[in-house]
A and B are shown apart, each in its own frame.
Chain A
């Protein structure tokens, strides 16, 4: 084998395709934009829902209370989600790899259960809010029918959330599995004989 210095020379003089700065600026512009748009849309939808609620259901104390609960729960879900995404984007890539790998694994493994608990708590708040809003509307329907409407709406909301959470978890598992596997292998390799 050629001596190291020679290999270094060959390595450093290998031909490379050019990469201009313009493409990098474009990539920087695109970074995180899609997720910000999705999150902004969620907030716009929440604003629309508030407007719809007050124009359709009036401003009775019950409606206002219901809407306040609805907004608090929904806003909590959206903003937490946004913060988590920002946290992933802000991972400190400039730390030495051993620490980086440990933190990346903790980030992939850690928050799921806690997040899920909070998510359900917030969904219950949203559900209570929605029921209060519906309840605040005067109706000539029989009490049993009203109860069924409340039950149906709550079941739909929580059922849809359960399906969403399951799909999201499944997607995360599929997406994270190769990264997690790679990180674990790298962690073992880096710490194999840390002197």
Chain B
């Protein structure tokens, strides 16, 4: 792979996938500054791994593998996992639809209750990635991805019900 080709593919991947990768970072982490750090780490690893991409899998699957693995090894230096909480990105423009905004906040809070691996799986699911691809990304079987997703959905549903009923 020539340098020019590497740069071209990288720019294309960056433009096409930055939103999805940043959402994955938001699903996994809890602060805007950390999201930036993790995103940069992911893109650095993508750049380094690009010459070894052989096209065995879809490039998005390959990209999400790197993103997930980087997220796994990303060190939360100042905060233990129990303190995870939801933060919205203050720098972004507000959602026009208030109801949607509330639902999104609730979804973020529900995701934050999950364990590290489940947060990654659910963010991949919310990105519309198939069970097969999630299995390819994580290295677990498709059946187990299915089992996990059923459990995660139940947990999310229970949390959202509790919050909604508590608020009512």
Contacts and interface: CB of A to CB of B under 8 A. Distances in A.
Given A11-B104, A94-B49, A182 B126 contact: no
B104 A10 contact: yes
A104 interface: yes
A109 interface: no
A19 B73 contact: no
A97 B137 contact: yes
A56 B128 CA distance: 70
Contacts, number: 145
Given A10-B104, A186-B72, A189-B116, A16 B22 contact: yes
If over half of A's interface residues share one DSSP class (helix, strand or loop), that class is named, otherwise mixed; here it is: helix
If over half of B's interface residues share one DSSP class (helix, strand or loop), that class is named, otherwise mixed; here it is: helix
B91 A17 contact: yes
Nearest to A27: B40
A1 interface: yes
B112 interface: no
B53 A186 contact: no
Nearest to B57: A94
B65 A194 contact: no
B144 A193 contact: yes
Contacts of B107: 7, 10-11
B9 interface: no
Interface string B85-120: 000010111110000100110010000000111000
B92 A15 contact: yes
B103 A2 contact: yes
Contacts of B40: 23-24, 27
A156 interface: no
Interface residues on A, range: 35 or more
A174 B69 CA distance: 21
Contacts of B77: 178
Interface in A80-128: 89-90, 92-101, 104
A62 interface: no
A74 B47 CA distance: 33
Contacts of B11: 21
Contacts of B75: 175, 178-179, 182
Nearest 5 A/B pairs, CB to CB? A96-B139, A98-B139, A15-B92, A11-B126, A17-B91
Interface of B: 11, 14-15, 18-19, 22-23, 26, 32, 36, 39-40, 43-45, 47-49, 52-53, 62, 65-66, 68-70, 72-73, 75-77, 89, 91-95, 100, 103-104, 107, 115-117, 123, 125-128, 136-141, 143-144, 147, 153, 156-157, 160-161
Interface of A: 1-2, 4, 7-8, 10-17, 19, 21, 23-24, 27-28, 31, 89-90, 92-101, 104, 175, 178-179, 182-183, 185-186, 189-190, 193-195
30 contacts: A1-B157, A7-B103, A8-B125, A8-B127, A10-B104, A15-B93, A16-B22, A16-B89, A17-B22, A17-B32, A17-B89, A19-B36, A21-B11, A21-B15, A94-B65, A95-B65, A95-B139, A96-B65, A96-B138, A97-B137, A100-B139, A179-B75, A183-B73, A186-B72, A189-B116, A190-B117, A190-B140, A194-B140, A194-B141, A195-B140
